Amino acid sequence: MTALAPAPRGTGGDRRSRGAPALSPAPAVRSLLRGLPTVPAVVLLVVFLAGPIAYCVYYAFTDMQLTGASGTHFVGFDNFTRALKDTDFLNAMWLTLVFVVGSAVVGQNTLGLALAVLMQKATRPVRALVNGVVIAAWVLPEVVAGYLMYAFFFNQGSLNSLLDALHLPDQNWLYTMPILAVCLANVWRGTAFSLMVFTAAINDVPQELVEAAEMDGAGPWQRLWRVVLPVIRPSILTNLMLITLQTLSVFGLIYTMTRGGPGNKSETLPIFMYQQAFQNSLIGYGTAIALVLLVVGALFSVVYIRLLKLEDD
Amino acid sequence: MAAVATPPARTVDKVPVAPSSPRGRRVRPGRLTVNLVLLAVSVLYVLPLLWMLLASVSRTNSFRLKWPSALTLDNFDAVLNVDTTYRPMLNSLLLCGFGTAVTVVASVLCAYPLSRYRSRVRRPFLYTILFSTGLPITAVMIPVYSMFVQLNLIDSVPGTTLFLAASALPFGIWLMKNFMDGVPIVLEEAARIDGANTMQVLWRVVLPLMRPGVMVVTIFTFIGMWGNFFVPFILLLSPEKLPASVSVFTFLSAHDQTQYGQLSAFSLLYSMPVVLLYLLLARRLGGGFALGGALKG
């Protein structure tokens, strides 16, 4: 992990010659004492995260209703077979895929990388301006971002004013293409994260590599394709993973803008899950959908960890 | 990808990349194009933000972006009262303040053994933490709601605070451990020889050396909680306990097509703390670039 880590200890019999107390505790006791500081965090994580996840797996196989646990029965895979027959669920799966691929993989990732590359060549005030506005959109609370985007895409909103001014055709975005509107909103809000990751990564590219390529007559495009991108590949993968996971669980932004509507035209899995559990009182069914979301997230997490290849020294 | 998290102090001086390449001597036609493209992107980014600023000081309610005919502070006057602004903001402050405090203290304590000792459980533990950072918290909310119902914690501010703290912990521990790895161990060993115990070493030696790291974790945790809408939306019911994130939402739902000036004014007030915190972070540590550097595994 780090070059500064101490030599491995804990193999027992590690008595330092200087100043070691005459009576050191037994190795097992010492390991326990060393682990003591992790207790508060572990308790919180077990109670509030591991517990609910275990609950989630259990409830997903019951017909629990919001009205109370009195009539809860074990129903096996009923919730899942029901989901597979439910056109609304399939619609939510499809929209989630569109939302994740469109706004994260294509939108945020590409725009973040493009901005990071372009900013290397921009003049300083322009660079500061881009940084400022992109990060401002990211720092704003989710609901405020949703409200601003609602106003921006609204039929009489700023976007249509702009399109009119440029003599381009406008339309009622939130009605005709709500999923496109929420995708663009998520790009507006989330690109800062990718921009920061890529800026840090590009700054770490050894300058001599780029200069050597330049000496060999590589143009700016070639330097980007052949030198910079291969070097920052791990960052691109990490970033893709992280923003995919963030985008999978976006709720507030979409809910503020469209409530999943009109109809179910922007109803991604988190919105669909919320509506089944709290508006239709089907906790069991909602939890089964939550489990699907958790499993998808967990799969991405595993891939992400594999990519990071945590190297222990 | 470097195996060591870059200490934020080092990333700062790398942020302004001066055109040090030999090409700087020539006039680059590309630079003008690059600047123009970036300016166009900035304009698109600024429009929604500008609309909120103008709407908050204008007399007319409209989604159209236009220069207000007369500036007014009426919208701010209308929202600056206990029910609309002060109480929700105070609720947010209590939730996020205590939540952040719990997260930071627990992650410092948890990061120390992970950073300093080797043991058989260390690796699985770290993998679990890393794995948890990626879990979609949204998906856990329904079982959390059911659990809170059974524990009688629905509508409980302390319960919600602890849940927020727990959900921010994985990322907090991970970042904190990366920053702690950057603190040399030599000084600790010296302190140990002088007879200091673990807590004294942590408090007197390690923490003073990783102030920037603690600040990054604190500010990012706070910003994340301040903007969190779904958790309080599910776990809190009483209007007098709701934080600003939920009250913005209810305001938006309650006053459809009207009052956009007031809502913009309130949104500005509600966004102000996190914007200021971020500026503080950016001035001291190069902002998100500290985070970009710390994200390396």
CB burial readout B219-245, b (16+ within 10 A) else e: bbbbbbbbbbbbbbbbbbeeeebbbbb
Rounded to whole angstroms, the Cα distance separating B56 from B73 reads 8
- The radius of gyration of chain A from alpha carbons, rounded to an integer in Å, stands at 25
Taking the mean position of all CA atoms in its chain, how far away is CA B284?
Answer: 16
Query: Number of CB pairs < 8 Å for A and B?
Result: 350
Helix (H, G, I), strand (E, B) or coil at A312: coil
* Mean pLDDT value of segment A100-117: 95
pLDDT of residue B212: 87
pLDDT of residue A68: 57
DSSP letter, residue A262: S
Rounded to whole angstroms, the Cα distance separating B15 from A198 reads 12
**Which tens digits make up the pLDDT trace of A218-253?**
888 888 888 999 888 888 888 998 899 999 999 999
Q: Which amino acid is at A138?
A: W
pLDDT at residue A116 tops 90: yes
Paired tokens of A102: 């469109």
Rounded to whole angstroms, the Cα distance separating A287 from A60 reads 5
On whether any CB of chain A is under 8 Å from the CB of B12, the answer is no
Which chain A residues have a beta carbon less than 8 Å from that of B185?
A: 4-6
CB neighbour class for B248 (10 Å; exposed up to 12, middle 13-18, buried from 19): buried
Of A19, A45, A141, the CB nearest to B270: A141
- E strand intervals along chain A: none
Could you tell me which of A174, A147, A170, A151 has the C-alpha nearest to residue A160? A170
pLDDT of residue B14: 39
pTM: 0.85
pLDDT of residue B19: 45
On whether any CB of chain B is under 8 Å from the CB of A245, the answer is yes
Helix (H, G, I), strand (E, B) or coil at B58: strand
On whether any CB of chain B is under 8 Å from the CB of A75, the answer is no
CB B261 within 8 A of CB B58: yes
Rounded to whole angstroms, the Cα distance separating B136 from A214 reads 44
- Spell out the per-residue pLDDT of chain B, length 297, in tens: 333 343 333 333 334 444 444 444 444 568 899 999 999 999 999 999 999 999 899 887 777 777 777 788 888 998 898 888 999 999 999 999 999 999 999 999 999 999 998 888 898 999 899 888 888 889 999 999 989 998 999 999 999 999 999 999 999 999 999 889 888 889 888 888 998 888 899 999 999 999 888 998 999 899 999 999 999 999 999 999 999 999 999 988 876 656 788 999 999 999 999 999 988 888 877 655 556 555 554
CB-CB under 8 Å, B140 with A290: yes
CB-CB under 8 Å, A162 with B119: no
Q: Which of residues 48-87 of B touch A (CB under 8 A)?
A: 48-49, 51-52, 55, 62-65
The label of the residue with tokens 């630079």 reads B31
Min mean pLDDT across A10-14, A183-187, A243-247, B130-134 is at: A10-14
pLDDT at residue A204 tops 90: no
How many Å lie between the alpha carbon of B295 and the closest alpha carbon of chain A? 8
On whether any CB of chain B is under 8 Å from the CB of A252, the answer is yes
CA dihedral sign of residues A94, A96, A100, A103: positive
Q: Which of A29-33, A73-77, A127-131 has the highest mean pLDDT?
A: A127-131
Q: At what angle do helices A158-165 and A142-153 cross, to 10 degrees?
A: 40
Number of H helices, E strands in chain A: 18, 0
pLDDT at residue A302 tops 60: yes
On whether any CB of chain B is under 8 Å from the CB of A1, the answer is yes
**Which tens digits make up the pLDDT trace of A64-104?**
887 655 567 888 888 899 999 999 999 999 999 999 999 99
How many Å lie between the alpha carbon of B118 and the closest alpha carbon of chain A? 6
Of A39, A130, A144, the CB nearest to B41: A130
- Percent of chain A at pLDDT > 90 equals 47
The label of the residue with tokens 């803008």 reads A257
Rounded to whole angstroms, the Cα distance separating A286 from A273 reads 5
Could you tell me which of A207, A211, A205, A210 has the C-alpha nearest to residue A233? A205
Rounded to whole angstroms, the Cα distance separating A198 from A231 reads 11
- The confidence band for A303, taking pLDDT boundaries of 50, 70 and 90, is confident
CB-CB under 8 Å, B173 with A41: yes
pLDDT at residue A58 tops 90: no
How many Å lie between the alpha carbon of A48 and the closest alpha carbon of chain B? 6
Rounded to whole angstroms, the Cα distance separating A284 from B215 reads 41
- The confidence band for A171, taking pLDDT boundaries of 50, 70 and 90, is confident
Which chain B residues have a beta carbon less than 8 Å from that of A5?
A: 115, 118, 181, 185
Q: How many other C-beta atoms lie within 10 A of the C-beta of residue A62?
A: 20
